[in-house]
Amino acid sequence: MTRYRVGHGLEFRVDRSNTGGIWLDSGEWEALKASDIHSSIHKIFTAPWQQAVRDESRDAVYHEQLVRRLGPDLVSKLETLRAELSSHPERKLALAFLQGIS
């Protein structure tokens, strides 16, 4: 049996046997259906899916660290500024200003 993380807001793992059988614990099928993952359960066992789960986990940990160190208010302001600057024509100038570069 190999255990695969489901991710996408679901914290449990799905077991897959060497013969291709899938094993779910109580309530897991209902959770997959509620998240509309049940129709593509086979994708959970792919490398791209597992990479996305790892990336999602890493990003969540990073965000938690930012909030802990900078505070939720500043992180919220920075996220708003980041979104505004992503398509701003003078993005480089604004970033230079924030870094104190004249």
What pLDDT does residue 20 have? 86
What pLDDT does residue 81 have? 97
pLDDT band at 101 (very low <50, low <70, confident <90, very high): confident
Q: Are residues 24 and 2 in contact, defined by beta-carbon separation less than 8 angstroms?
A: no
Which neighbouring-strand residues pair with 96?
none
- Both tokens assigned to 60: 């969540």
d(CA 82, CA 86): 6
Which of 1-15, 36-50, 66-80 reaches the highest mean pLDDT? 66-80
Helix H, strand E, coil C: the string for 43-89 is: HHHCHHHHHHHHHHHHHHHHHHHHHHHHCHHHHHHHHHHHHHHHCCC
Q: Are residues 57 and 8 in contact, defined by beta-carbon separation less than 8 angstroms?
A: no
What pTM value is reported for the model? 0.72
Q: Is the pLDDT of residue 93 over 70?
A: yes
CB within 8 A of 102, min separation 6: which ones?
A: 96
d(CA 53, CA 76): 24
44-83 pLDDT, tens digit each: 999 999 999 999 999 999 999 999 999 999 999 999 999 9
Q: Is the pLDDT of residue 102 over 70?
A: no
Coil, helix or strand at residue 95: helix
